[in-house]
Amino acid sequence: MTNSYDSTVTEAGDTPSNRARSGDGGAALLLVNLGTPQAPEPGPVRSYLREFLSDRRVIEMNPLLWKPILEGVILRVRPRQTARKYRTVWLDQGSPLMHYTREQARLLGERLPGVRVEAAMRYGEPSVGAALDRFHADGVRRVAVLPAYPQYSASTVASINDAASAWIGRNRDGFEMRLHRSFPVSPAYIDALAVALEAHWARVGRPNFLSGDRVIVSFHSIPVAMDRAGDPYRGECRRTVAALESRLGLALGSLTATFQSVFGTAQWLGPQTIDEMAQLGGERCPRVDVICPGFMADCLETLEEIDQLNREAFTEAGGGDFHYVPWANASPGAVDALEEQARIALGGWL
C-alpha cells in the first residue's frame, strides 16, 4: 500500500512542487538592509516607523511602557515630519536605500554565478520572511544571510538574525542557514573607504590638518545603555577608524569619529556629529570632509542628515568648505566589499 506522500511523489513526477520539496534549488544569498517606507508620505512612513520602533532589539523598553509613547506621541507627530525629509532625497527609482541595495544585489548576482541573490529589508518590504518564502518555494535549501552592516550591533545584525530564525521557527522544512556577523576591518571594505577618500582628495586636494582641516568619520549612534550592557558596536567602530587611518597612512587620531541619528531623551554614544559640526564651524574650521562607513547604501541618514542638516550646521556657524564623501551604493569598492563577505558566507557552497 502506498501512502499519500509516496503517491504524490511517484505520480506527479518532476513538478515545481516536487523540485521545491527535493531541495535541489542550489544556494542563495540574502542581502539585508534596515528598511524604508514605500513612499515619502505620512501613511507609509507611519507603517514603517511602527514596525521599526516596535522591535525590542531597537527599543529596549517594556512594551507596556513604550507602546503608549509610540502610538500616542511618536506616530502622531513624526510621520509627517519624516515624510517631508524623505521627499528631499527620494529618487525617480524610489527610496535611495531600496534602490541602491537592489543594485548591490544585482551586481553581486553577476559576480556569483550559480547563486541566487536577493535584497530584503528588516522592516518594510521586501521582508526577510517573504524572501525566504520565495527561496524555499523554488527549492533553495542553503541560504547565507548577509546584513549590510559593517559593524555589529544587537539592534541591527541581531535583529536580522531574529527575523531569519523566526522563519525557521514557523516552518517544518527549514534551510541550512548561515548568519553572517560583521566586517569592521575586512580588507576590501577598508580599501573601499580609503579609495573614496583618496579619489575625493585627488579632486579637491588633501586636507591640511595643520591648518585646521578635519576629516569626520560618522557612524549611526546607539543608546549608551546598550553599550554598557555589552554591545560590541562602539569597539567595532573604533577598529574601523584605526584600520582606515593605517590604510591611508595617517597618524593615529587623525580621523575624528562621531555618532549621528540620535532621537529621544536617552543618552546616546557621542560626540554627536551635528554638535561637532557646529563647534568646528564656530572655530572657523576651513574645511571638513565627512564619510559614513556604517552605511553601505545612501539613505535619509546620509543624504538628508549629513549632506543637508550637518552641512547647514557647519557653514552657518562660520565653517568653510563642507564635503560629504560618498563611498557606498553600487560603487566597485562597495560591491567588492560585499562580494568578499558573500564568498566567506557561501564558503563551500559555490
d(CA 83, CA 12): 51
Please enumerate, by residue number, every residue annotated as part of a binding site.
220, 301
Q: CA angle, corner 295, sides to 292 and 299, nearest 5?
A: 100
Phi, psi of 217 (to 5 degrees): -110, 105
Contact 110, 335 (CB under 8 A): no
Nearest Cα residue to 86 out of 124, 59, 129, 119:
124
Q: How far is CA 112 from the centre of its chain?
A: 21
Q: CA angle, corner 144, sides to 177 and 108, nearest 5?
A: 165
Radius of gyration of the chain (CA): 22
Q: How many CA atoms lie within 13 A of 101 on its CB side?
A: 26
Sheet with 255-260: strands ordered across: 255-260, 214-220, 287-291, 321-324
Nearest Cα residue to 113 out of 19, 20, 29:
29
d(CA 140, CA 142): 6
How many residues are present in the chain?
350
Please enumerate, by residue number, every residue annotated as part of a binding site for Fe(2+).
220, 301
